[in-house]
């Protein structure tokens, strides 16, 4: 489970979740719950569960991401300005009529990533991302997502999706763009944050332990790192 169960959670719910995962996993030892925050750790007794820390979530001030003020954001402003001066673009809220175009873009983005990176772990994560985004786009409105599209020459050149965590914080979960448009990532990130001014903080999730992603997320100067944990059963519990 990429996220812990929602709602009123107790030991019966936890056991039921592992039961569902065990039904799917041929090797029950890989059944686990990820992104468990500190307040939930009491639900996992040390005798039954192994808890290990994972890369934390990057949290930013929304106002910082919109303004990009000061020397520390100079490079971000520069590449953002490059994009808006060189390309004819149209940002718009996500619409379901663009779902198939987003999926085509995502598949092309994943295949390009696999070609450029031969690392097995990275390639697996790209495949996992494709499956997650396919589900997110399929149930976009049912699960309460928000998104932004960037249209260039009549086609979807980039999209980003996210959801509200609470009244103060919005989580940006996915961001996929055509790499050939220099500055499009900086552009779509800033424009999406502009649309999220009702939130004080933007949570961009973790870096999955990938050095390049860590560098990118650090370069936006997070104001906080939220600790997350992976919970799995002790080996003797999963046999």
- pLDDT tens for residues 74-113? 999 999 999 999 999 999 999 999 999 999 999 999 988 8
Looking at residue 81, its pLDDT comes to 98
- Provide the residue ranges of all domains of the chain, joining segments of one domain with +: 11-55+228-238, 57-226
Q: pLDDT of 15-52, one tens digit each?
A: 999 999 999 888 888 899 988 989 899 999 999 999 99
- Residue 137 buriedness (CB in 10 A; 0-12 / 13-18 / 19+): buried
Helix 74-86 × helix 184-194 angle, to 10°: 100
Six-digit token pair at 220? 């936006």
171: Cβ contacts below 8 Å, ≥ 6 apart:
162, 163, 164, 165, 202, 203, 204, 205
Give yes or no for a contact between 207 and 197, defined as CB atoms under 8 angstroms apart.
no
Q: pLDDT of 150-190, one tens digit each?
A: 999 999 999 999 999 899 999 999 999 999 999 999 999 99
**Model's pTM, two decimal places?**
0.83
Span 57-226 CATH architecture: 3-Layer(aba) Sandwich (3.40)
CA 205, CA 1: separation in Å to the nearest integer? Answer: 15
Beta strand pairing call for 32-36 and 201-203:
unpaired
């Amino acid at each position: 489970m990429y996220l812990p169960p929602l709602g009123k959670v107790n030991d019966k719910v936890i056991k039921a979740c592992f039961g569902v995962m065990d039904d799917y996993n041929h090797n029950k030892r890989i059944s686990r719950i990820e992104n468990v925050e500190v307040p939930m750790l009491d639900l996992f007794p040390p005798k039954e569960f192994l808890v290990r820390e994972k890369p934390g979530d990057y949290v930013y001030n929304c106002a910082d991401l919109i303004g990009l003020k000061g020397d520390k954001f100079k490079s971000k402003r520069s590449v953002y300005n490059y994009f808006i001066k060189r390309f004819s673009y149209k940002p718009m809220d996500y619409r379901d009529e663009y779902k198939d175009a987003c999926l085509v873009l995502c598949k092309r983005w994943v295949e390009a990533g696999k070609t450029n990176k031969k690392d097995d772990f990275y390639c697996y994560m790209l495949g996992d991302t494709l499956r997650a985004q396919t589900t997110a786009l399929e149930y976009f409105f049912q699960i309460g997502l928000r998104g932004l599209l960037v249209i260039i020459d009549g086609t979807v050149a980039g999209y980003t999706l996210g959801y509200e965590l609470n009244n103060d914080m919005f989580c940006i979960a996915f961001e996929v763009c055509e790499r050939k448009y220099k500055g499009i990532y900086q552009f779509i990130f800033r424009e999406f944050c502009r649309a999220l001014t009702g939130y004080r903080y933007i949570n961009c999730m973790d870096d999955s332990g990938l050095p390049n992603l860590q560098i990118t997320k650090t370069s936006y100067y997070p104001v906080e790192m939220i600790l997350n944990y992976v919970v799995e059963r002790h080996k003797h519990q999963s046999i």
